[in-house]
Amino acid sequence: MGRSGKKVIFLVDMNAFFISCEMSINPELKGRPAAVAGDPKSRSGIILAANYEARAYGVKTTMLVHEALSICPGLVIVPPTRGLYEKKSNEFMEILSRYAPVIQKNSIDEAWLDLTGCEKLFGEPVQIARRIMREIQYELDLWCSIGISENKFLAKMASEMKKPLGITELWKEDVPVKMWPLEIRQMYGIGKKTEERLKRIGIMTIGDLAQCDDRLLNGNFGKYGQELKRLANGIDDSPVEPEPKSVTRSISRSTTLAKDITDINEARTVLLSLAEEVGEEARRSDFRGKSVSIVIRYNDFTTITRQKTIVPSFLTKDIYRTGAELLGEHWDRKRPIRLLGIGISNVDEEMPVQLSIFDINDELPDSVKREEKLERAIDSIRSRFGSDKLKRATLVEGRKKNTGETAGVSE
């Protein structure tokens, strides 16, 4: 055990992973501002990853290529190398497996390790972290940051506190001093929309959330608010699992609309936004649903639920397309909509274990594989830089139509 018999959990997070992988096979990029771009030949393409030299000039992920070149004329732009990131990720995971019997991948470039009891073999937690960091540097020519704590949430928070090449401990007793002063947007799991909702009720820091009145949280967030408060207090009982399985075997999102909807295109835009959130969570859990359902609540509070079976999928386009079909088939256009919801489920308990990006079934069509990799890459960008950084063109155009605002970066 760690401090005073606590568990010891690591979160190992690779620094600037995509561009660092490129630098490991092309040493000429080292020491120069460089970035990976989806379409380096197109000045309208976007930056997918920038190294620290480029970041010093202000180059950021999701920035348009021509914008990046305008602030950093010497920026070297390279296309993604096919298969390189998966290969490096597998090698990174293999190094971690030398130290911990249980590893849980959080994404292509980070993982949790349960090192409880391993101190007898490898030394104190910080010593183990230094060994892991050295081996990743020496064997893969990559950098990482490591968070150390007694649970997954705090380990993840710790890993974000010092980059690059940072090793940070964040135990529960450290939370009031190290974590509570941080702005609420810096809390793992808080997206842009949740941040805005929390700020509207006066919660500006993680400490504000940790000490918030239960009635205020319940009134605005329900049970989700209590879970957020637990995390803000450093409480997380979720285990490190090699293949975490969905408890509910369903994922859904719904929203009460600011005004009743009578236009089908406006309803579809709302549905797409919700489908984005469902798809992102499904991919994070490697959960492919085999049915899509929608909830329609009319302005007289009458509610209907409809569902349709699909080929198991966690792609946003599949979730949205099926939901839009259900909406078109079952909405009584004479009745304005007050609430919309969409979800995926997999009620068949005998369904096979879901695949991850690391063992995608070769029988999947190439087009599906490309879609899955693309949407996972988008998820990674959004999780690091905010859900507003990449928007589907439909959502952007819908907002322009409704509000008159200018479109930003779209996929």
For residues 114 and 9, the answer to whether their CB atoms sit within 8 Å is yes
DSSP 362: T
Residues 157 and 284 placed together within one structural domain of the fold: no
> What SS3 class is residue 120?
helix
Residues 257 and 383 placed together within one structural domain of the fold: yes
Residues 312 and 356 placed together within one structural domain of the fold: yes
Catalytic residue numbers? Answer: 110
Predicted confidence at residue 201, as pLDDT, reads: 95
Residue 22 belongs to domain with CATH number: 3.40.1170.60
Q: Residue 130 has which token pair?
A: 């230094």
Predicted confidence at residue 246, as pLDDT, reads: 45
Predicted confidence at residue 1, as pLDDT, reads: 52
Predicted confidence at residue 262, as pLDDT, reads: 93
Residues 257 and 399 placed together within one structural domain of the fold: yes
CA distance 37 to 48: 5
> What SS3 class is residue 2?
coil
Domain range enclosing 270: 250-403
Question: 102 has which bridge partners?
Answer: 114
Q: Specify burial of residue 265 (Cβ count, 10 A radius: 0-12, 13-18, 19+).
A: exposed
- Which residues neighbour 208 within 8 Å (Cβ) at sequence distance 6 or greater? 184, 202
Residues 73 and 206 placed together within one structural domain of the fold: no
For residues 321 and 308, the answer to whether their CB atoms sit within 8 Å is no
Of 32, 56, 78, the residue that ends a domain is 78
Residues 396 and 266 placed together within one structural domain of the fold: yes
Residues 139 and 258 placed together within one structural domain of the fold: no
Number of domains in the chain: 4
Closest CA to 59 of 92, 83, 35: 35
Residue 117 belongs to domain with CATH number: 3.30.70.270
Predicted confidence at residue 408, as pLDDT, reads: 27
Rg (C-alpha) for the chain, rounded Å, is 22
Please state the pTM of the whole predicted model: 0.63
Low-confidence ranges of the chain (pLDDT < 50): 245-248, 348-366, 389, 395-411
Residues 126 and 198 placed together within one structural domain of the fold: no
Residues 110 and 172 placed together within one structural domain of the fold: yes
For residues 110 and 14, the answer to whether their CB atoms sit within 8 Å is yes
Predicted confidence at residue 164, as pLDDT, reads: 93
Residues 30 and 114 placed together within one structural domain of the fold: no
